[in-house]
Amino acid sequence: MIKVEGLYHSYNRDGDYAVKNASFEVPKGEVFGFLGPSGAGKSTTQGILTGLLRLQEGKVNVAGYDVKELKRSMFNKIGMSFEQSNVYSALTARENLRFYSKLFDVPTEDPDTLLKLVGLFDVADKKAGEFSKGMKHRLTFARSMMNNPELWFLDEPTTGLDPAIAATIKEIVREKNKQGVTIFLTTHNMYIADELCNRVAFIVDGEIKLIDSPRNLKLQYGQNLVDVEYGDGGSLKKETFSTVDERDIKKLQELIGRKHIATMHTKEATLEEIFIKVTGRELV
């Protein structure tokens, strides 16, 4: 669905690259996450993929289209939700969607269906200018589904939203993916990446450091740990064991056999801890 080779981008064409030598592929049906701190070059990459930024160097193929010679018909197949919401303040939520739907050459969703999906149906006739930031974001998000895209770009889809709304959005993304939609998602939120993505790319300072599935990464980099609380002669003791280390495993097995276990929690290494380990940078 997406194929990128040797992508470079310099905003001022001065050799100061926002994206450096990025290469990756996203197969059909995958949720691919671009994970990195802000300023890493995630939005820039997405901008090039969606034709918002001109391709300077490298090969980019999106949904079967060569981005170098952009064809407008490509946009019938893709959807794009922006990091910064951008809707017409002077139009109502419904008018915003209705206007946008007329720009496509393919069948589009009913605006009201989309508004219901993101919980804005009650305010469909309210001007978007009077919306809160979160509501505007949801409208922008809803708009990106207008043409039932095969390939869906989401830039920081849950950033700055309250948890309940973020959960709704995650649910919609999961549902769309189940229907076969390929999703390219950028975020600096490792929970989102972990929960939604089949594979993630770690990106720092415009460079992709690695690409793998969250599960593989945890197997490879994460040392899985177990916290155990057990009764020992009247008092409660606490110990942490590795599930990888041979001696720890043996000790844990003995403990389970001889002592009374009060609580036992596995503690996975988080994607964030792995990110720090791999890139030496925090995800902020």
Partner 1 sequence: MKKMLTIFGRDVRVNMKNFMAVFIILFPIVMAIGINLFTPGINDTTVNLALLSKDTEMAAYYEDFAKVETFATQGEVENRVAQRDNVVGILPEENGNYYILTQGNEPKEAVVEYAQVLKALYELDAQVADSNAVLHNFGKTVPPLKNTLVNAMILMISILGGMLISLNIVEEKMDNTVSAINVAPISRTAWVFGKSLMGLLLPLVGSFALVLITGFTYINFLQLAAVVVASALISIIVGFVQGLNADDMMTAVAGIKMMMLPMIGSVIGAELVSQKWQWCFYWSPFYWMYKANGIVLSGAGEWPKLLLDTGLVLVITALIFAYQAPRIRKGLEKV
Beta bridge partners of 208: 203
Among 27, 28, 38, 215, binds ligand ADP (CB under 6 A): 38
In the bound complex, what is the minimum distance in angstroms from residue 53's beta carbon to partner 1? 10
Q: What is d(CA 159, CA 156) in angstroms, rounded to the nearest whole number?
A: 5
42 touches ligand ADP by CB under 6 A: yes
Nearer to Mg ion, 99 or 191 (CB): 191
The piece of 47-55, 109-117, 230-238, 266-274 that touches partner 1 (CB under 8 A) is: 47-55
43 touches Mg ion by CB under 5 A: yes
Q: State the pairing for strand pair 2-9/19-26.
A: antiparallel
- 3-class secondary structure, 137: helix
Binding mask 6-35 for ligand ADP (x = CB under 6 A): -----x------x-----------------
CA dihedral 273, 275, 277, 280 (to 10 degrees): -120
95 touches partner 1 by CB under 8 A: yes
Looking up tokens 């890493």, which residue turns up?
40
In the bound complex, what is the minimum distance in angstroms from residue 45's beta carbon to ligand ADP? 7
Q: What is d(CA 179, CA 173) in angstroms, rounded to the nearest whole number?
A: 10
Q: What is d(CA 151, CA 80) in angstroms, rounded to the nearest whole number?
A: 9
DSSP class of residue 159 equals T
The piece of 40-48, 94-102, 109-117, 130-138 that touches ligand ADP (CB under 6 A) is: 40-48
Question: Applying CB under 5 A, which residues contact Mg ion?
Answer: 42-43
